[in-house]
């Protein structure tokens, strides 16, 4: 099974490559909430059903804590949070706070994901560390029809070896386009 497990950075960004404003504001993205899903154009449901483990940075985790009102959205999938700080837990979540490097953690993730894929949730710096270690198989990028001008970068790395565009699925309502790239 291990050969078919993919490590995927699934993320939404402004068309100029930011995943949040400098204040971690996502209202530019959340203004579209429900619009895309209603048309069955969003690949998230199909994507998440193949995910067995998650990785995220402390900022991403804290954003979820502060903004997600409902139950933990990722079920019993083990979730590694890369942090050097003490962070609160979430009821119902299977959390692994870690200070280890991504290569070490990635081995554990593959072993504990029931043969399914690994989702690098973000942020960009954590995704960059997976890229640096040669561990990133795919990027799923939802391009949002706005610009931010500055903020948290999508992937703060120079990677000019061409990735392969696997698919480009525009939402029928003229909002998002969902791009899927293969890196190796």
Residues that bind a copy of itself (CB under 8 A): 13-18, 21, 27-28, 31-32, 139, 141, 143, 145-150, 153-171, 174-177, 179, 181
Identify which of 31, 177, 147, 55 has the alpha carbon closest to the alpha carbon of residue 105: 55
Give whichever of 79 and 144 is closer to a copy of itself, judged by the CB atom. 144
Q: How far is the CB of 60 from a copy of itself (least distance, A)?
A: 18
Counting other chains too, the contacts that 40-49 makes at CB distance below 8 Å and 24 or more residues apart are 41/169, 41/170, 41/171, 41/172, 41/173, 41/176, 41/178, 42/142, 42/171, 42/176, 42/178, 43/140, 43/169, 43/178, 43/180, 44/10, 47/8, 47/10, 47/119, 47/140, 48/74, 48/119
Q: How far is the CB of 147 from a copy of itself (least distance, A)?
A: 5
Give whichever of 86 and 161 is closer to a copy of itself, judged by the CB atom. 161
SS3 52: strand
Q: How far is the CB of 42 from a copy of itself (least distance, A)?
A: 14
Give whichever of 29 and 109 is closer to a copy of itself, judged by the CB atom. 29
Give whichever of 22 and 100 is closer to a copy of itself, judged by the CB atom. 22
Q: How far is the CB of 166 from a copy of itself (least distance, A)?
A: 7
SS3 88: coil
Q: How far is the CB of 108 from a copy of itself (least distance, A)?
A: 27
Give whichever of 93 and 148 is closer to a copy of itself, judged by the CB atom. 148
């Amino acid at each position: 099974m291990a050969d078919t497990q993919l490590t995927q950075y699934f993320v939404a960004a402004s068309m100029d490559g930011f995943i949040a404003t400098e204040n971690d504001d996502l209202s530019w993205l959340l203004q579209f909430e429900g619009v895309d899903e209603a048309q069955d154009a969003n690949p998230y449901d199909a994507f998440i059903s193949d995910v067995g483990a998650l990785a995220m940075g402390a900022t991403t985790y804290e954003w979820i804590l502060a903004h997600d009102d409902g139950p933990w959205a990722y079920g019993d999938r083990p979730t590694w949070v890369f942090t050097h700080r003490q962070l609160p837990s979430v009821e119902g979540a299977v959390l692994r706070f870690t200070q280890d490097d991504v290569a070490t953690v990635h081995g554990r993730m593959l072993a504990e994901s029931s043969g399914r894929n690994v989702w690098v949730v973000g942020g960009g710096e954590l995704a960059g560390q997976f890229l640096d270690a040669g561990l990133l198989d795919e990027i799923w990028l939802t391009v949002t029809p706005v610009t931010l001008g500055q903020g948290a970068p999508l992937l703060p790395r120079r990677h000019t070896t061409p990735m392969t565009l696997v698919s480009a699925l525009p939402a029928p309502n003229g909002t998002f386009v969902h791009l899927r790239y293969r890196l190796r």
